[in-house]
């Protein structure tokens, strides 16, 4: 899954309309190792590409802002890769209207997420 983000180059040069649909602020809810998380994702344009930040407010990540150097857009499917503490966390979601539904993975730990676009 992680290798696909780099080997499959589709989605890294989204159209202006795709960028407009994805850029913004999101809130999400999930469970991480049994702990409820209510975090935030920000996706923005930088140097012609999409980048972002995310928070995973829980006992492991604290409330730290995590860099998101990779954002891939394939239609309404969005995949982001965050790089916390020398690791990686991946979130994939469908950007459909004001809501988002998807999943995440942090090493062997994974789960579902739901959320909404807030801005």
CATH number at residue 13: 2.40.128.120
Q: Give residue 80's domain range.
A: 2-117
| Rounded percentage of the chain residues whose pLDDT exceeds 70 | 91
Number of domains in the chain: 1
pLDDT tens-digit profile of 49-98?
899 999 888 877 777 889 999 898 988 889 998 988 778 888 999 977 78
Q: What is the pLDDT of residue 4?
A: 63
Average pLDDT, the chain: 85
* Residues 95 and 84: beta-carbon distance below 8 Å: no
**Token pair 């676009």: residue:** 117
pLDDT top residue among 41 and 3: 41
* Residues 84 and 66: beta-carbon distance below 8 Å: yes
Mean pLDDT on 96-104: 86
| 22-59 b/e (C-beta count within 10 Å ≥ 16 → b) | bbeebbbebebeeeebebbbbbeeeeeebbbebbbebe
């Amino acid at each position: 899954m992680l290798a696909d983000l780099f080997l499959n180059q589709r989605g890294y040069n989204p159209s202006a309309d795709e960028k407009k649909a994805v850029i913004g602020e999101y809130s999400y809810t999930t469970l991480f190792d049994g702990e409820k998380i209510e975090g935030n994702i920000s996706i923005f344009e930088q140097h012609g590409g999409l980048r972002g930040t995310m928070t995973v407010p829980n006992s492991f990540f604290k409330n730290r802002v995590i860099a998101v150097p990779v954002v891939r857009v394939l239609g309404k499917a969005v995949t982001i890769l965050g790089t916390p503490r020398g690791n990686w966390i991946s979130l994939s979601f469908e950007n459909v209207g004001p809501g988002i539904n998807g999943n995440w993975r942090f090493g062997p730990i994974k789960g579902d997420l739901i959320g909404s676009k807030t801005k």
